[in-house]
């Protein structure tokens, strides 16, 4: 399982890079000893989320204790395959095991896909309680509040984001848009 976690970390660090770097990511992941884990992470990278779900389930079954990262990754895969209830369940389980800002953001995203704005706002607020200095969370909540017509609350959240990071682009753009209205 340690090598599987190493593969996940390698995958995560290269996942957001442009497509030419995907080959590098696949090479680094395939250098790790557990060939099956590497192949399954490669499938996830290539958009084969259904097979990645199988791999993460197997990793969860093989794990000696619950691992929030497995639940988080399962939640992301379920979300990308449109299985929103399963995604929500896995992400909630991940939050029970470990509170991480990315899990909160993913769960809020699932709620928004289900058109449950109230739950998304609540999720962002809970995340901000845990991570009060996270500009991304403040900004995401602020932009969501702005979309729902709660301009004053949106401005407060965007201002909080800029308090912690004065150059936070999403917040600056949202405030700029508010000023033009």
pLDDT at 130 over 90: yes
pLDDT digits (tens, 9 = 90+) for 147-178: 999 999 999 999 999 999 999 999 999 999 98
Closest CA to 5 of 57, 50, 41, 42: 41
Question: What is the DSSP-derived secondary structure letter of residue 67?
Answer: -
Instruction: State residue 58 phi and psi, 5-degree precision.
Output: -65, -40
Q: How far apart are CA 75 and CA 170, in angstroms?
A: 25
Relative orientation angle of helices 101-113 and 84-97, to the nearest 10 degrees: 160
Q: Any idea which of 4-8, 30-34, 36-40, 140-144 has the lowest mean pLDDT?
A: 30-34
Superfamily of chain region 2-133 = Tetratricopeptide repeat domain (1.25.40.10)
Residue with the larger pLDDT of the pair 115 and 36: 115
- pLDDT averaged over every residue in the chain: 84
pTM over 0.85: no
Cβ atoms of 77 and 106 within 8 Å: the answer is no
pLDDT at 131 over 50: yes
Q: How far apart are CA 80 and CA 103, in angstroms?
A: 15
Domain ranges of the chain: 2-133, 134-181
When pLDDT is cut at 50, 70 and 90, the band that residue 37 belongs to is low
């Amino acid at each position: 399982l340690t090598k599987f976690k190493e593969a996940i970390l390698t995958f995560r660090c290269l996942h957001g890079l442009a497509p030419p770097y995907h080959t590098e990511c696949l090479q680094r992941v395939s250098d790790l000893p557990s060939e099956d884990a590497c192949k399954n992470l490669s499938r996830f990278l290539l958009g084969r989320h259904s097979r990645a779900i199988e791999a993460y389930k197997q990793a969860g079954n093989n794990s000696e204790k619950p691992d929030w990262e497995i639940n988080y990754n399962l939640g992301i895969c379920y979300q990308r395959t449109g299985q929103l209830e399963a995604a929500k369940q896995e992400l909630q389980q991940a939050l029970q095991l470990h509170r991480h800002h990315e899990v909160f953001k993913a769960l809020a995203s699932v709620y928004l896909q289900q058109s449950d704005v109230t739950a998304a706002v609540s999720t962002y607020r809970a995340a901000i309680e845990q991570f009060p200095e996270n500009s991304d969370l403040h900004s995401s909540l602020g932009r969501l509040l702005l979309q729902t017509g709660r301009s004053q609350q949106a401005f407060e959240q965007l201002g909080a984001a800029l308090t912690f990071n004065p150059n936070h682009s999403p917040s600056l753009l949202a405030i700029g848009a508010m000023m033009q209205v």
